[in-house]
């Protein structure tokens, strides 16, 4: 084992079927020290080398592994009460170890190296039946944190998120800002009309110096929860 490995940043979570199926909140203390170095897209890697891409989303309730997390849970048959340890081994790369709630040991399939020809992001179908059937509901657990992730609008554009641009007018600042109905119909579900929409400023903070002429770029980073990243240009 690398002598430096035990010194790498890490945290532990106990998996709950009630709150962790759709997303997992990172501990605020971990985020306070390491949040600024974490990218928008991260990767979770098991001891057998298989890995999953997940989106790290910074919202009002904290920093969460979001899109892609439910795939990781489903593909690996993570069960209620399992213990998960996360070690940040490189930028956005987490080594993940799982300890079964009943055995207290990592399942053998987490350690055994699978066929090298299999792509790392393909689902792995476990040979053990589970009684814990669930359908992701894409809801966030309630929590709070002052975490910050530095994500540039250019980097987000590279991931192909639906985007629209608005140049602020006096009316849009003092009254309301309208989203194009064409954009809404194409990218946002109708049932979300009554739901709150989350806007996240690039630096993770707030913005109070909006003036006429500011160019606002809105990028829809989560279609299900309707989360936008917002970038401002004067």
Identify the residue with better confidence: 46 or 137: 46
180-224 pLDDT, tens per residue? 777 887 887 777 666 666 665 555 555 557 788 888 888 887 777
Taking 90 as the threshold, does the pLDDT of residue 145 lie above it? no
Note the pTM of the prediction, 2 decimals: 0.51
Domain 5-111 identical in fold to domain 153-233: yes
CATH classification code of 5-111: 2.40.330.10
The C-alpha atoms of residue 65 and residue 56 are separated, in whole angstroms, by: 5
CATH classification code of 153-233: 2.40.330
4-42 pLDDT, tens per residue? 566 889 999 999 988 898 899 999 999 999 988 899 999
Identify the residue with better confidence: 119 or 179: 179
Task: Label residue 120 by pLDDT band (50, 70, 90).
Answer: very low
pLDDT, position 29 = 92
Q: Work out whether strand 51-59 and strand 198-201 pair parallel, antiparallel, or are unpaired.
A: unpaired
Rounded percentage of the chain residues whose pLDDT exceeds 70: 68
Identify the residue with better confidence: 153 or 223: 223
User: Region 139-158: what's the mean pLDDT?
Assistant: 36
Task: Label residue 114 by pLDDT band (50, 70, 90).
Answer: low
Least confident of 68-72, 75-79, 109-113: 109-113
pLDDT, position 117 = 43
The structural domains of the chain, with segments of one domain joined by +, span: 5-111, 153-233
pLDDT, position 206 = 53
53-75 pLDDT, tens per residue? 999 988 877 899 999 999 999 99
Taking 70 as the threshold, does the pLDDT of residue 140 lie above it? no
């Amino acid at each position: 084992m690398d002598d430096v490995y035990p010194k790498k940043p890490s945290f532990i979570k106990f998996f709950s079927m009630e709150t962790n199926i759709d997303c997992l909140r990172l501990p605020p203390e971990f985020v306070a020290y390491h949040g600024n170095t974490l990218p928008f897209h991260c990767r979770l890697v098991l001891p057998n080398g298989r890995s999953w891409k997940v989106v790290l989303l910074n919202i009002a309730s904290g920093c969460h592994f979001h899109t892609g997390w439910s795939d990781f849970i489903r593909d690996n048959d993570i069960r209620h009460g399992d213990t998960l340890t996360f070690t940040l081994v490189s930028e956005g790369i987490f080594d993940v170890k799982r300890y079964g709630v009943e055995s207290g040991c990592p399942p053998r399939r987490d350690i055994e190296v699978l066929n090298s020809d299999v792509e790392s992001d393909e689902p792995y179908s476990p040979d053990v039946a589970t009684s814990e059937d669930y359908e992701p509901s894409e809801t966030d657990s309630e929590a709070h944190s002052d975490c910050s992730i530095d994500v540039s609008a250019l980097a987000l554009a590279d991931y192909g998120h639906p985007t629209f641009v608005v140049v602020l007018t006096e009316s849009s600042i003092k009254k309301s800002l309208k989203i194009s109905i064409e954009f809404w119909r194409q990218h946002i579900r109708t049932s979300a009309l009554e739901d709150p929409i989350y806007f996240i400023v690039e630096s993770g903070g707030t913005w109070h110096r909006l003036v006429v002429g500011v160019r606002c770029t809105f990028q829809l980073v989560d279609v299900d929860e309707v989360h936008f990243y917002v970038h401002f240009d004067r």
